[in-house]
């Protein structure tokens, strides 16, 4: 080939690299941006006083007693992270998870303390039985050990009402019983909590990525597993059906969980539904990155940023993530 011909070919080639030459150019054409307002920060609240104990499987995350929460609220405000998701580790457990709907329970108290510390902080409560049942399942059991649907829904409704009464802005049922969103909506409305919103764990898969959480929330099932109510990881079409049902039943926001192995579901949900869409970057996803970072195998800021960008790019409006505080700090840093 002649030298001049080759030059012409190169000249005609579209040069994708032109807009990658400087940080200013890359900034200008960036399609996806993370903002602290995208994040919901999950917290584990325990009984007792002066508890601030690191969760070994989730470095940087803590078991906190309620006296620690006002300081957390202040820190989140300074970081512009607008919302928290609360999990409770109660003082006692039984077969039906009674402590979950105790008006003086650990989550109910935490809601009051946080709303007192900062009325603008959006307080979301996880509604489920597994943290409160002695068998660790997300519902109540029959004598064969099967999780009963409607009986469980009734108890979940009671727990959701107690959270609303404590002042939760949003309740987030994570149990995956059928019909619980509709039942919770009806009960909230009937009790005058018409402004309490529902964030439905709409498509929640039976995932190995919840491993560290079960230590964090002390909620591992004593026998069996959750595959009788959580979704099969192989099923994306079924996830869309699950979401459609929750939307129909009155969910205000919908969630896909976990995030990373299900980004196709996040994208399809974004394209199909118009409600605010959240993705839960779960404990195992967090622990994987933390472990590799601790080994010196990955650059923390870069890998966390890339991960959260991926979730947002797939279509999530909101990301529930244990990285919320550190990511907000990085975003706030002047460049
Ligand atoms: C309980 C619940 C779980 C998570 C949130 N709510 C665990 C489970 O279903 O086993 C997982 C959160 C995480 O892994 O970060 N229903
Ligand atoms: Zn549960």
Tell me the domains of the chain and their CATH numbers: 34-332 (3.20.20.70)
Provide the 3-class DSSP secondary structure of residue 257.
strand
* CA–CA distance, 113 with 106 (Å, rounded to integer): 11
* pTM score, whole prediction: 0.95
- Whether the pLDDT of residue 3 is over 60: the answer is no
Pocket of ligand 1 contains residue 242 by CB under 6 Å: no
Whether 275 and 252 have beta carbons less than 8 Å apart is answered as: yes
Q: What angle do CA 224, 262, 56 make, to 5 degrees?
A: 60
If you take atom 7 of ligand 1, which residue's CA is the nearest one? 210
Please report, rounded to a whole number, the percentage of residues in the chain having pLDDT higher than 70: 96
Structure token digits, residue 142? 């029959």
Asked whether 138 lines ligand 1 (CB < 6 A), one says: yes
- Which residue(s) pair with 319 in the sheet? 39, 279
Mean confidence (pLDDT) of the chain = 95
Find the mean pLDDT for residues 71-88.
98
Q: Which ligand is nearest to the CA of 137?
A: 2
- pLDDT at residue 8, as a whole number: 58
Choose the catalytic residue: 257, 290, 312, 325: 257
C-alpha span between 306 and 77 (Å, rounded): 24
DSSP code of residue 236: S
How far is Cα 74 from Cα 76, in angstroms, rounded to an integer?
5
325 included as an active-site residue: no
* Average pLDDT of span 167-179: 97
Of 204, 290, 312, 325, which one is the catalytic site residue? Answer: 204
The atom number, within ligand 1, closest to the CA of 87 reads 6
* Residue pLDDT, tens place only, 246-304: 999 999 999 999 999 999 999 999 999 999 999 999 999 999 999 999 999 999 999 99
pLDDT band at 318 (very low <50, low <70, confident <90, very high): very high
Of all protein residues, the one whose alpha carbon is nearest to atom 10 of ligand 1 is 210
Mean pLDDT in residue range 66-79: 98
Task: List the single range of 2-16, 71-85, 121-135, 311-325 with lowest mean pLDDT.
Answer: 2-16
Would you state the pLDDT for residue 290? 98
Q: Is the pLDDT of residue 12 over 70?
A: no
pLDDT at position 96:
96
Note whether 86 and 124 are within 8 A (CB): yes
Residue 303 makes CB contacts below 8 A (sequence gap 6+) with 289, 292, 293
Q: What is the pLDDT of residue 9?
A: 62
40 in ligand 1 pocket by Cβ < 6 Å? no
Buried b (16+ CB within 10 A) or exposed e, 91-115: eebeebbbbbbbeebbbbbbbbbbb
Distance of CA 264 to the CA centre of its chain: 17
Residue nearest to atom 5 of ligand 1 (CA): 174
Range of lowest pLDDT (71-75, 222-226, 262-266, 279-283)? 222-226
Distance 225 CA to ligand 1 centre (A): 13
Catalytic residue check, 204: yes
Q: What SS3 class is residue 258?
A: coil
Which atom from ligand 1 is nearest to the alpha carbon of 320? 15
> Does the structure show a pLDDT above 70 at 216?
yes
């Amino acid at each position: 080939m002649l030298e001049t011909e080759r030059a012409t070919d190169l000249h005609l080639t579209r040069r994708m690299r032109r807009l990658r030459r400087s940080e200013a150019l890359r900034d200008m054409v960036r399609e996806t941006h993370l903002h602290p307002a995208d994040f919901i920060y999950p917290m584990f609240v325990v009984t007792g006083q002066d508890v601030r104990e690191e969760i070994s499987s989730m470095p940087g995350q803590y078991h906190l007693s309620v006296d620690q929460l006002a300081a957390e609220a202040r820190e989140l405000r300074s970081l512009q992270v607008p919302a928290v998701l609360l999990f409770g580790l109660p003082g006692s457990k039984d077969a039906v998870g009674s402590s979950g709907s105790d008006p003086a329970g650990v989550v109910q108290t935490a809601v009051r303390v946080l709303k007192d510390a900062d009325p603008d902080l959006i307080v979301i409560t996880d509604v489920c039985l597994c943290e409160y049942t002695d068998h660790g399942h997300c519902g109540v059991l029959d004598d064969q050990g099967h999780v009963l649907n409607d009986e469980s829904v009734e108890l979940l409704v009671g727990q959701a009402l107690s959270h609303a009464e404590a002042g939760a802005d949003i309740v987030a049922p994570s149990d995956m019983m059928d019909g619980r969103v509709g039942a919770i909506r009806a009960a909230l409305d009937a009790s005058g909590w018409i402004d309490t919103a529902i964030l439905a764990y709409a498509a929640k898969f039976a995932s190995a990525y919840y491993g560290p959480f079960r230590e964090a929330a002390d909620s591992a099932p004593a026998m069996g597993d959750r595959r009788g109510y959580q979704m099969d990881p192989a099923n994306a079409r079924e996830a869309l059906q699950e979401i459609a049902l929750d939307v129909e039943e009155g969910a205000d926001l919908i969630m896909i969980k976990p995030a990373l192995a299900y980004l196709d579901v996040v994208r399809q949900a974004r394209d199909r539904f118009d409600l605010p869409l959240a993705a839960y970057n779960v404990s195992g996803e967090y622990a994987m990155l933390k472990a590799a970072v601790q080994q010196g195998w990955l650059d923390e800021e870069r890998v966390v940023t890339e991960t959260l960008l991926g979730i947002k790019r797939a279509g999530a409006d909101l990301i529930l993530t244990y990285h919320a505080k550190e990511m907000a700090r990085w975003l706030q840093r002047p460049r």
